């Protein structure tokens, strides 16, 4: 019983990290109506920026204090998000969903290639930013890094939810997500909305990379987290900020249970397959997810 609860606790903490990445999908979808498949690569770019301003700067003889490097990373990924929006997605405003989706696919291999050209393919270590260790709560051990990440995810969810439902800019983004043409005719700037969405999305993805990689190894393979978070975003509902962490916990716990109880029977495949089986099941049973906007037609 204690074992089971320990697995559930670990699964939900990891699930909240998935939820954080899923929020970065949702933020972009909610404002720009783009499912950006390259979100995992965006996260990797953020992580490499983080590496550049911590270990990379230290290697050049310019050791920076952690808060300064975090600020520089945040600034760097804002510039990066704005550059992606300006060069790839702004020229495509008003194009069919197929074109925009394919632009995301092209961005995926573009970013993967660029990262490899700029930083090289070797693995790197990210310094410890969030404290490592385990907290003893009763009979359970809780990883402090993931605990802080979980608290951050929940706080960010509340903040973004308020932003999207209460602030003027957030409501404008929601109007753009509903329909570009209608938003334009109401005087809402689609360009501004999409630029805001991209900057927010890259910042959230980079925050996720801090939680995920603090004190561990950074390689190009980290981008897989993007594909793991996609089922989470779909389950929570592509328009729902608050659905993402909840769906993250569901997927995380199921994955942890599968890896503990089913993997020994299936040669390690069950936990890997679970998010995608869940994704296909969600699309078949409840395509708008748990809290997404119900549309009669999804085009």
Partner 1 sequence: MRPTGIWFESYAAEARVLETLRARLWLLALLAALVLLPAVAGPWLLGEFTNLFITLVAVYGLYVTVGMAGQINIAQSAFVGVGAFTAAKLSGMGVPIWATIPAGALAAGCISIVFALPAWRVKGFYLALTTLAAQVMFPIVILALPMSWLGGLVGMPVMPPTLFGLNLGTPTGLYFLGLFVAALATWTAFNLPRSRIGRAFRAVHDNDSAASVMGIQVTRIKIEAFFAGALYAGVAGAVLAYFLQFVTVSSFTLFTSVWYLGMLIVGGLHSPVGPILGVVFVTLLQEGLHKFANAMLQADGGLGGGTVFALSSVVLALCILIALIFEPRGLAHLWHTGMKAFRLWPFPRN
Chain positions contacting partner 1, by CB under 8 A: 35, 37, 88, 91-92, 95, 97-99, 101-103, 105-110, 112-114, 116-117, 121, 227, 230-231, 234, 266-269, 272-273, 276-277, 279-280, 283-285, 287, 297-299
What is the C-alpha separation between 6 and 268, in angstroms, rounded? Answer: 20
Looking at the Cβ atoms of 106 and 128, the one nearer to partner 1 is 106
Neighbours of 173 (CB within 10 A): 25
Looking at the Cβ atoms of 42 and 210, the one nearer to partner 1 is 42
Looking at the Cβ atoms of 170 and 237, the one nearer to partner 1 is 237
> Shortest distance, CB of residue 108 to partner 1, whole angstroms?
7
> Shortest distance, CB of residue 165 to partner 1, whole angstroms?
25
Looking at the Cβ atoms of 8 and 100, the one nearer to partner 1 is 100
User: Which residues, 6+ apart, have CB-to-CB distance to 275 below 8 Å?
Assistant: 228, 231, 232, 251, 255
What angle, 0 to 180 degrees and rounded to 10, lies between the N-to-C axes of helices 97-119 and 39-51?
A: 30
Looking at the Cβ atoms of 45 and 108, the one nearer to partner 1 is 108
Which residue(s) pair with 143 in the sheet?
Answer: 134
Helices (H), 167-189: 168-178, 180-185
Looking at the Cβ atoms of 215 and 268, the one nearer to partner 1 is 268
> Shortest distance, CB of residue 95 to partner 1, whole angstroms?
8
Looking at the Cβ atoms of 59 and 91, the one nearer to partner 1 is 91
> Shortest distance, CB of residue 205 to partner 1, whole angstroms?
18
Looking at the Cβ atoms of 92 and 142, the one nearer to partner 1 is 92
What angle, 0 to 180 degrees and rounded to 10, lies between the N-to-C axes of helices 270-285 and 243-257?
A: 140
- Per-residue b/e over 128-148, b at no fewer than 16 CB within 10 Å? ebbeeeeeeeeeeebbebbbe
What is the C-alpha separation between 5 and 114, in angstroms, rounded? Answer: 43
> Shortest distance, CB of residue 37 to partner 1, whole angstroms?
7
> Shortest distance, CB of residue 242 to partner 1, whole angstroms?
21
Integer angstrom CA distances of residue 145 from 13, 14, 166, 248: 10, 10, 31, 17
> Shortest distance, CB of residue 184 to partner 1, whole angstroms?
20
User: Which residues, 6+ apart, have CB-to-CB distance to 160 below 8 Å?
Assistant: 23, 27, 200, 241
Neighbours of 94 (CB within 10 A): 11
3-class DSSP state of 127: coil
> Shortest distance, CB of residue 269 to partner 1, whole angstroms?
3
For the chain, the 3-state helix, strand and coil shares in percent, each to the nearest 5, are 75, 5, 20
């Amino acid at each position: 019983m204690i074992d089971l609860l320990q697995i559930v606790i670990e699964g939900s903490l990891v699930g909240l990290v998935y939820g954080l990445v899923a929020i970065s999908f949702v933020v972009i979808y909610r404002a720009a109506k783009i499912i950006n498949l390259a979100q995992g690569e965006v996260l990797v770019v953020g992580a490499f920026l983080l590496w550049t301003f911590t270990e990379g700067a230290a290697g050049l003889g310019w050791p920076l204090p952690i808060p300064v490097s975090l600020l520089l990373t945040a600034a760097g990924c804002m510039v990066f998000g704005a550059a992606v929006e300006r060069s790839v997605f702004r020229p495509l405003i008003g194009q069919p969903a197929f074109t925009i989706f394919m632009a995301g696919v092209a961005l995926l291999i573009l970013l993967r290639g660029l990262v490899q050209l700029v930083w090289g393919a070797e693995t790197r270590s990210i310094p410890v930013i969030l404290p490592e260790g385990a907290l003893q709560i009763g009979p359970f051990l809780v990883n402090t890094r993931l605990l802080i990440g979980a608290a951050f995810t929940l706080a960010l969810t509340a903040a973004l939810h308020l932003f999207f439902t209460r602030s003027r800019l957030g409501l404008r983004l929601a109007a753009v997500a509903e329909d570009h043409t209608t938003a334009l005719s109401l005087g809402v700037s689609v360009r501004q909305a999409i630029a805001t969405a991209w900057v927010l999305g890259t910042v959230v993805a980079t925050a996720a990379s801090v939680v995920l990689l603090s004190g561990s190894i950074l390689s190009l393979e980290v981008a897989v987290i993007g594909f793991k978070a996609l089922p989470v975003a779909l389950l929570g509902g592509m328009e729902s900020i608050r659905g993402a962490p909840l769906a993250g916990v569901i997927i995380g716990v199921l994955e942890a249970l599968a890896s503990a109880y089913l993997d020994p029977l299936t040669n390690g495949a069950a936990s890997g397959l679970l998010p995608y089986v869940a994704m296909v099941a969600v699309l078949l049973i409840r395509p708008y997810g748990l809290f997404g906007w119900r549309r009669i037609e999804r085009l």
